[in-house]
Chain A
Amino acid sequence: KQEVTQIPAALSVPEGENLVLNCSFTDSAIYNLQWFRQDPGKGLTSLLLIQSSQREQTSGRLNASLDKSSGRSTLYIAASQPGDSATYLCAAGGGADGLTFGKGTHLIIQP
C-alpha cells in the first residue's frame, strides 16, 4: 500500500527566501506525482503534475522534481511571498487508482 510522507510538517520563513518542501513515497509504481495547494476551508489547487517518465516540471516560481527510483519529490519555491502561505500537499499514484496524499506541509511566509 502506497504511503506518502511530507517533511517538514510546518515551515515558517521570511518573505523572499527560497525554500524546499520534501515528499517521499514507498511504491515507485506510480503514473504521476502531483503537488497541490490547499487554502483554509477551500478545495485543492493543482500546482504541478509530473508524469512518471518526467524528472521535473516548472511553473513560474515553482519547480518540482521527481526521482522515482528513490521515491522522492521536492517542491522548490523561489522568492517566497506572503501569498504563498498555505498547506502544500504531495500526492502519488494517478490513473484509475486515484492518489495517495501526504499530510501536507503548512507553510507560513512572514511579511
Chain B
Amino acid sequence: GQNIDQPTEMTATEGAIVQINCTYQTSGFNGLFWYQQHAGEAPTFLSYNVLDGLEEKGRFSSFLSRSKGYSYLLLKELQMKDSASYLCAVKGSNYQLIWGAGTKLIIKP
C-alpha cells in the first residue's frame, strides 16, 4: 500500500530549530510537498522538492532523499506564529497527492 508517516506532535522553544520528518512509501514519485495549516484554517504551500537535496526558503528549508523515501522540514528561529500543523504530501504515479496526517508543532516561549 501507499503511506506517508510523520510524527503526530512535536514541541519546541521559541527561537530554536526544529526538524519535522516525513517518510513515504508510494507507487511512483513525482514530487514532495510541505504545507502549513494553522488551526481552523486552510493549508498553505511551503515547499516543493522533486530532486534530492536541500531547498532553502528564508527560515524554512526542506530536504529530500528519494532513495530513502525520506524528507524533512527544518524551521529555524522559531516564532510563536509557527505553531501549526505541517502536512507532508507526495505526488504519486497517478499525479494525485497522498497526504500524511500532519505534525502538530507546539511552540513554547
| Same complex origin of A and B | no
Question: B residues near A, CB below 8 A?
Answer: none
- Measuring CB to CB, which residues of chain A are less than 8 angstroms from any residue of chain B? none
